[in-house]
Structure 1
Amino acid sequence: MSYDPPPAAGRPPGWRPRPAPEQPTTFLPKIDVLDTEPLGGRFAHEPEEDDTGRIDDEPLESPPPPKDTARTVVRSFGELFITAGLVILLFVVYEVYWTDLISAGKQNQATSSLDTKWKDQDTVGGPQRGTHYDLAEGQGFAKLYVPALGADYHFTIVEGTTDADLDIGPGHYIGSALPGQPGDFAVAGHRVGKGAPFNDLDLISSCDAIVVETVTDWFVYRMLPTSDEVSGWAAGKGAQPQCKGVAPLGGPYAGLVGQETVLPSRGDVIAPVPHKQDLQLPAGQEASLMTLTTCTPKFSASHRLILHAVLTNQYAKDPKQPDKVPPELKETD
Structure 2
Amino acid sequence: MAILEAPPPKRSGGRGGKVVRTIGELLITAGLVVLLFVVYELYVTDLFSAQKQASAAQSLDDDWAQGRELHPELIDGKAFAKLYIPSFGADYHFTIQEGTDAAALEVGPGHYKGTALPGEPGNFSVAGHRVGKGAPFNDLDLLQSCDAIVVETQTDFFVYRVMPHEDEIAGWADGKGKQPQCAHVGTLRTSAPDGGPYGKTVGREVVLPTQGDVVAPVPHQTADVLPAAQQVALLTLTTCHPQFSDKQRLVVHAVLTNQYPKTPGATYAQLLQAIGEG
With the length of structure 1 as denominator, give the TM-score of the two structures: 0.75
Alignment of 1:1-333 (within 5 A): 62-65=8-11, 67=13, 75-121=21-67, 133=72, 135-250=74-189, 251-319=196-264, 321-323=265-267, 325-327=270-272, 331=277
* 1:63 CA displacement: 3.9
Deviates more, 1:278-287 or 1:290-299: 278-287
Given that residues 235 and 255 in structure 2 are in contact (C-alpha distance below 8 angstroms), is that contact kept between their aligned partners in structure 1? yes
Q: Aligned with 2:66: secondary structure?
A: helix
Larger radius of gyration: 1
Amino acid at match of 1:323: T
Measured in 1, the distance between the counterparts of 2:211 and 2:45 equals 28
Q: Is the 8 A contact 2:200 2:220 kept in 1?
A: no
Distance 1:330 1:196, change over 3 A: farther
Deviation at 1:67, TM superposition (A): 3.5
One-letter amino acid of the structure 1 residue matched with residue 202 of structure 2? V
Question: Which structure 1 residue ranges, 5 or more long, are not aligned?
Answer: 1-41, 43-55
**Structure 1 residue 214: deviation in Å?**
0.5
CA-atom RMSD, angstroms? 2.5
Deviations 1:64-92 (A, max 9, x none): 24547876665444333322221111000
Structure 2 distance, partners of 1:191, 1:241, is 30
Structure 2: give runs of 5+ residues left out of the alignment.
Answer: 190-195
C-alpha separation in 1, matches of 2:228 and 2:212 = 23
Answer 1 or 2: which has greater helix percent: 2
Give the paired residue count. 270
Deviations 1:286-333 (A, max 9, x none): 1000000000111111110000000000001112x333631367627x
Deviations 1:117-156 (A, max 9, x none): 001107xxxx69xxx8562111110000000111110000
CA distance in 1, matches of 2:121, 2:77: 24
- 1:238-284: CA deviation from partner (whole Å, max 9, x where unpaired): 11100111121123111310000111111110000111133342243
Look up the SS of the partner of 1:284 in the other structure.
Answer: helix
Give the Cα separation in 1 of the matches to 2:16 and 2:91: 57
Mean CA deviation greater in 249-258 or 169-178: 249-258
TM-score normalised to the size of structure 2?
0.89
Indicate how the Cα distance of structure 1 residues 170 and 66 shifts in structure 2: closer, same or farther if over 3 A, else same: closer
